[in-house]
Chains A and B, each alone.
Chain A
Amino acid sequence: MSVALPTNSTVPPDGDSPRRIVARQSLSDQIFRGILRTAGIAVLVITAMILIFLVLRSLPAWRQMGFRFFTTSSLVYADKQFGVAALLPDSVLIALIALAFAFPAGLASALYISEYAPPRLRRPLIAVIDLLAAIPSIAFALWGFVYLMPKIIGTDTWAAHHLGFIPFLHFTQTYTPSNFVGSEFIAGLVVSMMVIPIIASLSRQVFSQAPQGEREAAYALGATRWGMVRTVVLPFGRAGVIGASMLGLGRALGETVAVSFILSPPTDTFNYHVLDGGGNSITAAIANNLGSYSPLGISYLLAAALTLFLLTLIINTLASIVISRSRSGAATEAD
């Protein structure tokens, strides 16, 4: 390492301008930094390659369908009638159902762990949330398919009878138990369990960073614990919670196994009556059909996958930007 000493000519006579330090890196350091930089670039390259190859391989489908891909709902690729007009809103609907359950549950468990739990319980509970995130989605799928589905039909029937006046809970099929099986509501419920740990662990991390001084200030002004949480922790963590929910939404949109286990029979029209049996999603359509389709059919499925990839990439990138903004703590400093 060599440090270039400042020459007098660059420093103004009375100024305190900082000295410019020029450190030349040794060869080994240059190689080392080069390797690390390559690893960093590799992440960008992989993401770009996913995009490029999905685009390349779905070109035949785009050529045939063009923009009609987004307005066609049927799934008959042989007749050039294949689009995501039903699959995409179905996916979004399932993800929103999942979020409707996972958001309150995830937020409540995050607040409990960071604010209410006794310190002795805190670490085990964090481990429980991590474990929930690590349970394979196929285990959730089996549990939801074999255990939850028969159990939930009673509640479904009740909701259809008594809450049917709410448009999306209206039940359009005949009231037999078998018609309640395989609905988008049940799929969303199972997916919500995979979204809870994402919302809970990210929100907890943000909540635990709420400044101690402001917490104590709230207590000193006579706030109860809930008062402190409401005025200090929640405003501090707002951006983080929003980001966490968006990441959860991305996760729910991409969930494959549980959704294709539960949704049956697969449909090709968008049906917003969530209790009706049957449904579909982008992921379920790909998982169920990729193995049996012809090359042209596969290119249609890849076009659907590209739509999903772009949607989740946008949602996730926005989410991580929101979270990284919140980390600076600017939310409270500005107030």
Chain B
Amino acid sequence: MAVAAAPGPDVRVHIGSVSGDGAATILGAGLASLALTWVLFERVLPFSGVLAFWIAWYLVFLVFYGVMATMQWDRQEAGNRVTAIGFGTGGALALAIVVAIVAYILAKGAAAISHISFITQSMANSGPSLPLGVGGALHAIIGTLEQIGLATLFSVPLGIAAALFLAEVGGPLARPVRTIVEAMTALPDLIAGLFIYVLFILTLHFVKSGLMAALALSVTMMPIVTRASEVVIRLVPGTLREASLALGGSQWRTAWNVILPTARSGLATAVVLAMARGIGETAAVLFTADFTKVTNLNPFSGPQINLPLYIWNYAHNEGQIPADLQRGFGGAFVLIVLVLGLFTLARILGGAAPGEMSRRQRRKISRAAAAQT
């Protein structure tokens, strides 16, 4: 970096760091717009609403900041700064929505969760107007876990095989398959549920069960697994493939012993993220899982509820019973915790580039090397 042969120590220039006058301009524009908006709302105009206040504040702030920026810098620089603020707001907004929803559900669900019965009992002994201390969502939690397990079992092998087909086999068929997979990723989950409902329940006369819900979930999860896996498989260096083939490995040996192990971390992330998406699917299970108040450990026969259906049933009543609404929030609490848990798992599993070994794998290799010498 230090090419200049100037005497004295080099002062490192921090590119993009916040300068004093830049920060002061933002602060000044913020305060000025806050004051103006307050005057407008409280003294001049008959406006109301907390949300409207902050929206108005933000718009006034952008105008003020723009004006103050043009007073200090040239037009180019002022435009640069105002747009940077605007895009930053977009990023902050996404973060704010996530935090707001997660925090709100956790806070509202705490009332139900604070009763230990919520995770140790089903609703078998609980009537509609009973307090929170009686009954819980154990049956729904069991149902959700079993159904997502089955759905993973169905969708992951098929999804990864389809991804291998797209990445390793290719051919004229790959293009339409890829297009349809991408279109299926955004398939309304209601349609996936209706498909299983129409095919298995209306046409083949199956009864609503955990298995039906799992099938509907796998229809929504499979394209997600396929698309994410294909991206990961394409990241495996071509030299590894060529090395395996040059050693005389067949294509399936290459896939099984080289490509899949190399992409393991990314594939695990893809699977876990698809599970996180599947676990909260509500519309897909509305008509495929059946409402019940009792625990059913067997997903293959009899009605088995799951968390989304539990929330739907208890929170969606028109004549809202407070305890039932709280049960709904309690179910959402558990669901959000499950999603966050899966998400954290995905972050732990992921992050490793293809071929990057975990600490355990490195230890295993060094042990094997030590044993040989």
Contact = CB atoms under 8 A, between A and B. Distances in A.
Chains A and B belong together in one complex = yes
Interface of A: 25-26, 28-29, 31-33, 35-44, 46-47, 49-50, 53-54, 57, 104-113, 115-118, 125, 127-143, 145-147, 151-155, 157-158, 193, 196-198, 200, 224-227, 229, 247, 250-251, 253-257, 261, 264, 283, 286-287, 290-291, 298, 302, 305, 308-309, 312-313, 316-317, 319-321, 323-324
Nearest to A114: B87
Nearest to B176: A44
* Residue of A115, A129, A131, A133 with most partner-chain B CB within 10 A: A131
A139 B180 contact: no
Contact of B165 (A36, A146, A305): A36
Determine the main DSSP class of A at the interface with B: helix
B89 A158 contact: no
Interface residues of B, number: 101
26 contacts: A39-B164, A40-B165, A40-B169, A40-B177, A43-B223, A109-B87, A112-B87, A125-B95, A130-B273, A131-B98, A132-B94, A134-B339, A134-B342, A136-B332, A138-B280, A142-B329, A155-B49, A155-B51, A158-B49, A196-B97, A256-B282, A256-B283, A257-B312, A290-B287, A305-B190, A320-B178
Central interface residue in B98, B104, B173, B329, by most chain A CB within 10 Å: B98
B181 interface: yes
B84 A225 contact: yes
A305 B335 CA distance: 28
Interface in B152-193: 158, 161-162, 164-166, 168-169, 173-174, 176-192
Given A104-B90, A112-B90, A320-B179, A198 B186 contact: yes
A57 B94 CA distance: 41
Contacts of A104: 90
Given A133-B277, A154-B50, A142 B186 contact: no
A107 B223 CA distance: 25
Given A143-B101, A197-B94, A317 B339 contact: no
A127 B347 contact: yes
Nearest to A260: B316
B287 A29 contact: no
B93 A105 contact: yes
Given A32-B252, A105-B93, A154 B52 contact: yes
B136 interface: no
B286 interface: yes
Interface in B301-346: 308, 311-312, 315-316, 318, 325, 328-329, 332, 335-336, 339-340, 342-343
B79 A226 contact: yes
A247 B90 contact: no
Given A131-B339, A134-B276, A135-B102, 20 more contacts: A32-B250, A36-B161, A37-B169, A44-B177, A46-B222, A105-B93, A112-B87, A128-B98, A130-B273, A136-B281, A136-B335, A142-B315, A152-B49, A155-B49, A224-B79, A254-B191, A257-B283, A302-B198, A305-B194, A320-B179
B223 A283 contact: no
Contacts of A32: 250-252, 255
* Pairs A-B, 7 closest by C-beta atoms: A254-B188, A108-B90, A136-B280, A154-B49, A32-B252, A39-B161, A320-B182
B166 A255 contact: no
Interface of B: 16, 47-52, 55, 76-77, 79-80, 83-84, 86-91, 93-95, 97-98, 100-102, 104-105, 108, 158, 161-162, 164-166, 168-169, 173-174, 176-192, 194-195, 197-199, 202-203, 219, 222-223, 226, 250-253, 255, 273, 276-277, 279-283, 286-287, 308, 311-312, 315-316, 318, 325, 328-329, 332, 335-336, 339-340, 342-343, 347
Nearest to A228: B80
A57 to B, nearest CB: 5
Nearest to A138: B282
Contact of A135 (B181, B198, B280, B312): B280
Contacts of A28: 250, 252-253
A227 B198 contact: no
B105 A142 contact: yes
A239 B279 CA distance: 32
Contacts of B178: 320, 324
A147 to B, nearest CB: 6
The residue in B88, B97, B188 that gathers the most chain A C-beta atoms within 10 A of its C-beta is B188
A37 B198 CA distance: 27
B191 A309 contact: yes
Given A29-B251, A134-B280, A320-B179, A53 B198 contact: yes
B223 to A, nearest CB: 7
Nearest to B93: A105
Contacts of A46: 184, 219, 222
Given A32-B255, A108-B87, A158-B48, A139 B335 contact: yes
B212 to A, nearest CB: 14
| Most chain B C-beta atoms within 10 Å of own C-beta, residue among A111, A197, A257 | A257
Given A29-B251, A40-B162, A193-B97, A316 B187 contact: yes
B89 A132 contact: no
A247 to B, nearest CB: 5
A118 B203 CA distance: 55
Contacts of A290: 194, 197, 286-287
A227 B86 CA distance: 15
A26 B250 contact: yes
B186 A40 contact: no
Contacts of A308: 188, 190-191
